[in-house]
Amino acid sequence: MTDYKLAAKQLKEERAFLMKENKAIGQSMYGLHTAAIKEGVISSKHKELIALGIAISTQCEGCMLAHIEGLISMGATLEEIAETVDVAILMGGGPAVTYGGKAIAMYKALSA
């Protein structure tokens, strides 16, 4: 079984490495994320849920971890994650079933 807490820690270390070694790209990506997720007509939490659904559909485990951590800090519930998985499966088909299951496991591990 995957240790998602360890995986999340490693992901943060890798992002820190990018920020140090290639500041322009790292800062640009951080700025893009901040701008895309900021409160607007659609709440930041809903934007993170959308991003999670896309991450599931595109099978990006690192993206899933990052967005799930953000969602946990925003107070997202397991039910919200599960409904996001439902929509990701609609758009991503069979592979999204596997990654959707991983998303739920990640949420459970990281929110414990």
CATH code for position 92:
1.20.1290.10
Cα–Cα distance, 76 to 51 (Å, whole number):
13
pLDDT tens digits, 62-88: 999 999 999 999 999 999 999 999 999
Reply yes or no on whether the pLDDT at 47 is more than 90.
yes
Residues 62, 4 contacting (CB under 8 angstroms): no
Residue 58 φ/ψ, nearest 5 degrees: -95, 5
Residue 45: pLDDT band with limits 50, 70, 90? very high
Domain count, the chain: 1
Q: How many residues does the chain have?
A: 112
Model confidence, pTM: 0.92
Hey, which bits of 2-50 come out as E strands? none
Range of the domain at 43: 4-111
Residues 111, 80 contacting (CB under 8 angstroms): no
Per the listing, tokens 């946990």 go with: 72
